[in-house]
Amino acid sequence: MAARRVSLVTGGAGFVGYNLCHRLLSQGDEVICLDDMTSGMPQHVDELQRHERFHFLRHDVCEPVTLKVDRIFNLACPASPPAYQADPIKTVLTSVLGVRNMLELALANDARLLHASTSEVYGDPLEHPQRESYNGNVKTMGPRACYDEGKRCAETLLHDYHRVRGADVRVARIFNTYGPGMRTDDGRAVSNFIVQALAGEDLTVYGDGSYTRSFCYVDDLIDGILRLMELDGDHSQPVNLGNPHEIAIKELAELVLAATGSQSRIVHLANAVDDPKVRCPDITRATALLGWRPKVDIGDGLRPTIDYFRVLTGTVDTVA
């Protein structure tokens, strides 16, 4: 009988990591979740530990680790601005030292490594939509630089380990993602608006709300991540994973109000520092290489996300 594949998910107690662990368990993998719980959710670990093939290791990726694994999904790093700006030095080190340690682990195990990069490598883009060939417009200093530049440096390490030492790597540039499993204090637009609407509080929009984002439902993102990981051959070049349907932030706020039935108001705050004005992926490469396109539109994805937050915030006892 063939040995069961062992998949390591760093940051597995976070939003995307939790959903990825669920999917890997459902397809029969042995799953090791490595997380230092800086932004991971204990309830995610508690739920996942009901599976006999799930194993939790509390560990900081900035420190080396020795494990026997077949696949590594490197998702370790806070992804929301409030979380990664809370300790910017740690954010940079997690991106750089964490990736180095996971690359060394991959080489020791002859394992494939998929790294969760980000659309933030494009900065405040001058190209729209953003293709993987675009080098970006990123500030090396500022409140967002710890995340943006940390992720850019991580991609450099991945490329050099592949070129010099033959590491088998995949790079997913993940655009805005939402869905069940987010924190109430995540700090990103979808979760902020839903939590505010359910509480009857004002929905806070930075600036005039005309800046845009593209929101991908988490199930679609996991589909793309798994297709990229399982793709045979040399595919070390980055691949955008996101929903190319672009909407203004104020429009998102209005959709949340309609979907929740909230009577909350939309109020406007000063522009956030260095906040990109536009963000939309060109997914031509993902479609050609993986046969992948998102299936869930924002209206359909908001419903289960709102139901999840109703339960999490105690608005209802059970999901409708």
Would the pLDDT of 67 be above 50?
A: yes
- Whole-number pLDDT of residue 316: 65
Q: Are 244 and 278 in contact (CB under 8 A)?
A: no
Q: Where are the domains of the chain?
A: 6-312
Separation CA 62–CA 234 (nearest Å): 27
H-helix or E-strand spanning residue 132: none
- Distance, CA of 39 to chain centre: 13
Tokens at 145, concatenated: 């630089």
Confidence bin at 319 (pLDDT 50/70/90): very low
Separation CA 274–CA 142 (nearest Å): 8
Side chain identity at residue 130, one-letter code: Q
Residue that is written with structure tokens 């088998």 in the block:
168
- Whole-number pLDDT of residue 302: 98
Which residues have CB under 8 Å from 52's CB, separation 6+?
A: none
Instruction: Give the percent of the chain with pLDDT over 90.
Output: 89
Residues labelled as active-site residues: 147
**Nearest-10 crossing angle of helices 189-198, 249-260:** 40
- Whole-number pLDDT of residue 78: 86
DSSP string for 34-80:
EE--SS--HHHHHHHTTSTTEEEEE--TTS------SEEEE--S--S
pLDDT digit string, tens, across residues 268-315: 998 877 778 899 999 999 999 999 999 999 999 999 999 999 999 988
- Whole-number pLDDT of residue 304: 98
Confidence bin at 198 (pLDDT 50/70/90): very high
Beta bridge partners of 205: 268
Separation CA 12–CA 21 (nearest Å): 7
Residue that is written with structure tokens 């999840």 in the block:
308
- Whole-number pLDDT of residue 318: 38
pLDDT digit string, tens, across residues 18-41: 999 999 999 999 999 999 999 999
Q: What is the mean pLDDT of the chain?
A: 94
Residue that is written with structure tokens 């998949």 in the block:
7
Separation CA 131–CA 281 (nearest Å): 7
Which residues have CB under 8 Å from 288's CB, separation 6+?
A: none
What mean pLDDT is predicted for residues 257-267? 97
CB atoms within 10 A of CB 236: 15
Give, rounded to a whole angstrom, the gap between the first and last alpha carbons of the chain.
Answer: 43
Would the pLDDT of 210 be above 60?
A: yes
Separation CA 190–CA 303 (nearest Å): 12
Confidence bin at 145 (pLDDT 50/70/90): very high
Instruction: Give the percent of the chain with pLDDT over 70.
Output: 98
Q: Is the peptide bond before 129 cis (omega within 30 degrees of 0)?
A: yes
CB atoms within 10 A of CB 231: 15
Beta bridge partners of 269: 206
- Whole-number pLDDT of residue 2: 60
- Give the CATH number of domain 6-312: 3.40.50.720
Report in angstroms the alpha-carbon separations of 262 from 193, 195, 253, 255, 304: 11, 11, 11, 11, 16
